[in-house]
């Protein structure tokens, strides 16, 4: 006859977080990369204050250095968490207002989001989908520019 403990293991294996009963160290199901990125961005590294109190004496230099390290790591984590959760301007729009070209052309986005989209494009160095033409279309139509290597009338004479 099966014991109650052996029957409980398969049901635990189906749970999201599974801890093995036999080992002292719990094992977890691996976290997806996006979730891991957010967790890493929110993590703040710190140093212990034990080095500042060696042999019962207070060492102000090491204390200040450790506080400086904590402040820098706090600022670093604030910047990384802000960027980890960031959505682009066009992603915050309702589905019926989203346009594929709005990711590259801020003029295709609604007016209330345009300025934010322009800032994002300059920050990310996103290339413009429609680079400016080198030759003016009106010049080509009126014959002052050669079309596809055909010489203009001025060059024949």
- What is the crossing angle of helices 33-42 and 60-84, to 10°? 140
Q: What is the pLDDT of residue 93?
A: 75
pTM (2 decimals)? 0.34
**Whose structure tokens read 């010049």?**
139
Taking the C-alpha atoms of residue 18 and residue 25, their distance in angstroms, rounded to an integer, is 12
Q: Which two tokens stand for residue 117?
A: 């989209």
**pLDDT per residue as tens digits for the range 58-73:** 888 888 888 888 888 8
**pLDDT per residue as tens digits for the range 79-103:** 777 666 667 776 777 777 777 777 7
Q: How many degrees, rounded to 5, is the angle at CA 82 between CA 76 and CA 87?
A: 150
- What lies within 8 Å, CB to CB, of 109 at 6+ separation is 89, 90, 93, 99, 102, 117
**Four-CA torsion 144, 145, 151, 153, nearest 10 degrees:** 0
**Whether pLDDT at 132 is above 50:** yes
**Whether pLDDT at 138 is above 70:** no
- List the domain boundaries for the chain: 89-128
């Amino acid at each position: 006859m099966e014991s109650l403990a052996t029957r409980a293991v398969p049901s635990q294996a189906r749970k999201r977080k599974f801890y093995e009963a036999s080992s002292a160290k719990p094992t977890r199901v691996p976290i997806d990369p996006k979730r891991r990125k957010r967790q890493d961005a929110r993590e703040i590294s710190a140093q212990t204050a034990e080095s500042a109190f060696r042999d019962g004496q207070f060492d102000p230099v090491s204390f200040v250095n450790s506080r400086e390290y904590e402040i820098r790591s706090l600022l670093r984590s604030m910047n990384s968490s802000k960027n980890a959760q960031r959505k682009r301007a066009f992603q915050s729009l309702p589905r019926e207002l989203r346009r594929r070209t709005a990711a590259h052309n801020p003029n295709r986005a609604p007016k209330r989001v345009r300025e934010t989209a322009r800032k994002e494009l300059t920050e990310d160095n996103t290339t413009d989908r429609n680079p400016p033409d080198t030759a003016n279309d009106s010049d080509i139509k009126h014959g002052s520019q050669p079309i596809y290597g055909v010489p203009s009338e001025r060059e024949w004479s």
